[in-house]
Amino acid sequence: MHPIETRDLTVVYRTGVLARPHLALDGLTLHIEEGEVFGFIGANGAGKTTTIKTLLGLILPTRGECSLLGKSARDPVARREIGFLPESPYFYEYLDARETLTFYAQLSGLDGPVVAARADEVLERVGLAFAADRRVGTYSRGMRQRLGLAQAIIHKPRLAILDEPMSGLDPLGRRDVRALILELARGGVTVFFSSHILSDVEALCDRVGVVADGKLVAAGPVAELTTPRVKAVEIRCSGVSKKDLGKAGETVSEYREDGEVVTFEVPDETSADKAARAIIKKGGSLKSLVPVKESLEEVFSRLQVVSSDGVSPDAGGDAEGGAT
């Protein structure tokens, strides 16, 4: 049993009788392993939030199916052990943070004195204990985001679904959320989160899924998505200049001199081999030769462009989302 499983998930929005139907999700097949941190990335309108809403039963799929912790996503029982943080969460303005958390805890089946104790514990954990008795209507965006996280974990869920958890947070807030996600993962909680902040995804996730135009265009461990692509080789040397490289110098880019030391890039390993031979032949000293890999951001950008061109993506991992 996978904590999250979708099969051929398709959602078509129809906003009016005469409006053209909009394909928001196009046959998305994906599964998440127990205990992993899965990052779901994609441009605005790619289908991230629609996927999350469909998983939570907020949107009915036009075709396909999805399950949470082995139960159909349409069954409210499936959501008993789910913690959900929506993008830019909103709360009842007249309630204070403690009342808000008590409400959500009771909806999740918690009852009795344990609720108050758990609310205080979670408020402390997300750094809102100082504002526990303040009306939520007076909260800043960052405080609401923290309260959103608090309500998502108040009932100790087995699966946390977080839509843009770092959104609206300052650097300290982002650091706290990263620590919280890692803490949840260490505690055995499966975390599925969408984000625009790719450095966070790269740092936190065991696996990543890239969605574009409603399709899952790549999925797999971050290392697998980025490693196969060596976009250039950076060479540092001394005792030579660009003209000493001869033919190998034709493909040089990012050339810079810093006193004796020369640094430049060549596009691939063959060019690097030629350049290294030329340096040694001219009596230069080769200091380092480092392959420059694609960052997740570059992989992401490439996949977005490829997807909008309608060309099959060439990335590591598995576009069915099943690679583990």
User: Residues interacting with another protein, by CB under 8 A?
Assistant: 13, 53, 56-60, 76-80, 82, 84, 86, 88-92, 94-95, 99, 103-104, 106-109, 148, 151, 161
What minimum distance in Å lies between the beta carbon of 291 and another protein?
44
The distance between the two most distant Cα atoms of the chain, rounded to a whole number of Å, is 81
Determine the Cα–Cα distance for residues 299 and 280; give it in Å rounded to an integer. 34
Residue 321 CB, nearest approach to another protein (Å):
22
Report the residue number, 81 or 202, with the smaller CB distance to another protein: 81
**Residue holding tokens 């929005």?**
13
Q: Smallest distance from the beta carbon of 80 to another protein, in angstroms?
A: 4
Between 58 and 290, whose beta carbon lies closer to another protein?
58
Instruction: Print the SS3 string covering 149-201.
Output: HHHHHCCCCCEEEEECCCCCCCHHHHHHHHHHHHHHHHCCCEEEEECCCHHHH
Q: Is the CB of 164 or the CB of 202 nearer to another protein? A: 164
Give the residues across from 159 on adjacent strands.
82, 190
Closest CA to 116 of 133, 131, 99, 129: 99
| Nearest approach, Cβ of residue 161 and another protein (Å) | 8
User: 151 or 195, CB closer to another protein?
Assistant: 151
Q: How far apart are CA 208 and CA 39, in angstroms?
A: 5
Nearer to another protein, 136 or 319 (CB): 136
CB of 82 to another protein, least distance (A): 7
